[in-house]
């Protein structure tokens, strides 16, 4: 495994001069092939961090290095999936994915790009819907096209901002299962924001817990100790699932606020804790 394939060091973001930073001194590493979920209350700066990783926004301080190169702007090395899928309405499903493939590999023939795109459309379970327009698709299907498009450019890193936030629970489960399968097949490195603790436990190898803003930080890195091959149906029967879940919920209900309050009253911020709920606790 390629350790710290993505390395974030001392990241801070201040939107207005004189205002406290939204988050500060955020440092973390992600290994190649790792799936990381980020959880934190609204406003702690999750989307801002994702945008910095995407190269869409500049940090006020700190550096981001991916695969030994500093991230300074957007690149097809990174695929982004937002909550609103942002498909081109005049293109079919196939057209939307082919457009991305041809941006990534402009020398490819139309036939080669189509063949490649069809493979990823099939992976997200949309075989047979290639010629439908976005307006003919359900919300879940549109989101799958967004996922197929992001995977089809074979990015070094996939960034997802609450990709299933707008889906109903049943559809969400189906798309989560598909994402699990694709990640297992491709070894994709993923950084994903979610508000759903069950989703994080299902998908992530590590869960970053952010304290409340302003001056938010990554307070804890929770190691997901469930076996890597998980399913939504079986996960709930494992007592370890509840230890992890309770730990995450306790953080959101109590510690996320306490950490921010202590910091605001001048208590120095503790280092990021690495936690394996129910098994052991260590300090990074």
Ligand X SMILES: Nc1ncnc2c1ncn2[C@@H]1O[C@H](COP(=O)(O)OP(=O)(O)OP(=O)(O)O)[C@@H](O)[C@H]1O
CB-nearer residue toward ligand X: 170 or 253: 253
Please report how the helices 169-186 and 110-123 are oriented relative to each other, as an axis angle in degrees rounded to 10.
120
CB-nearer residue toward ligand X: 42 or 229: 42
Contacts with ligand X by CB under 6 A lie at 15, 22, 40, 42-48, 213
Q: How far apart are CA 127 and CA 265, in angstroms?
A: 56
221-243: b or e for each residue (b if 16 or more CB lie within 10 Å)? Answer: bbbbebeeebeeeebeeeebbeb
CB-nearer residue toward ligand X: 43 or 227: 43
Question: Nearest distance from residue 47's CB to ligand X, in Å?
Answer: 3
Question: Nearest distance from residue 252's CB to ligand X, in Å?
Answer: 12
**Tokens 């060091």 map to which residue?**
9
CB-nearer residue toward ligand X: 113 or 217: 217
Determine if the peptide bond prior to 138 is cis (ω within 30°). no
Residue 251 backbone phi and psi in degrees, to 5? -60, -45
Question: 87 to each of 23, 55, 91, 139, how far by Cα in Å?
Answer: 31, 20, 8, 11
Structural contact between residues 82 and 192, judged by C-beta atoms closer than 8 angstroms: no
Question: Nearest distance from residue 154's CB to ligand X, in Å?
Answer: 27
Question: Nearest distance from residue 151's CB to ligand X, in Å?
Answer: 23
Q: What does the DSSP 8-state code read for residue 216?
A: B
Nearest residue to 216 (alpha-carbon basis) of 46, 36, 56: 46
CB-nearer residue toward ligand X: 43 or 187: 43
CB-nearer residue toward ligand X: 56 or 65: 56
Question: Nearest distance from residue 14's CB to ligand X, in Å?
Answer: 10
Question: Nearest distance from residue 217's CB to ligand X, in Å?
Answer: 13
Structure tokens at 225: 């100790």
């Amino acid at each position: 495994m390629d350790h710290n394939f993505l390395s974030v060091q001392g990241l801070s973001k201040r939107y207005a001069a004189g205002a406290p930073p939204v988050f500060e001194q955020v440092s973390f590493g992600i290994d190649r092939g790792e799936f990381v979920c980020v959880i934190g209350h609204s406003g702690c700066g999750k989307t801002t961090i994702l945008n910095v990783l995407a190269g869409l926004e500049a940090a006020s301080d700190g550096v981001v290095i991916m695969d030994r190169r500093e991230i300074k702007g957007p690149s097809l090395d990174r695929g982004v999936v937002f909550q609103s899928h942002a498909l081109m309405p005049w293109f079919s499903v196939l057209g939307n994915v082919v457009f991305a493939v041809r941006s990534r590999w402009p020398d490819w023939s139309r036939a080669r790009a189509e063949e490649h795109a069809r493979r990823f459309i099939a992976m997200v379970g949309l075989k047979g819907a290639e010629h439908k327009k976005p307006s003919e698709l359900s919300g879940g299907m549109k989101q799958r096209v967004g996922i197929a498009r992001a995977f089809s450019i074979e990015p070094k890193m996939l960034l997802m901002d609450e990709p299933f936030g707008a889906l109903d629970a049943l559809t969400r489960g189906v798309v989560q299962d598909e994402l699990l399968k694709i990640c297992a097949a491709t070894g994709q490195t993923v950084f994903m924001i979610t508000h759903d603790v069950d989703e994080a436990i299902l998908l992530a190898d590590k869960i970053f817990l952010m304290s409340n803003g302003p001056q938010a930080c990554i307070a804890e890195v929770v190691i997901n100790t469930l076996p890597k091959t998980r399913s939504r149906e079986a996960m709930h029967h494992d007592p370890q699932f509840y230890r992890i879940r309770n730990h995450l919920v306790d953080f959101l209900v109590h510690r996320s606020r306490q950490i921010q309050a202590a910091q605001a009253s001048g208590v120095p911020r503790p280092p990021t804790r690495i936690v394996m709920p129910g098994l052991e606790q260590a300090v990074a």
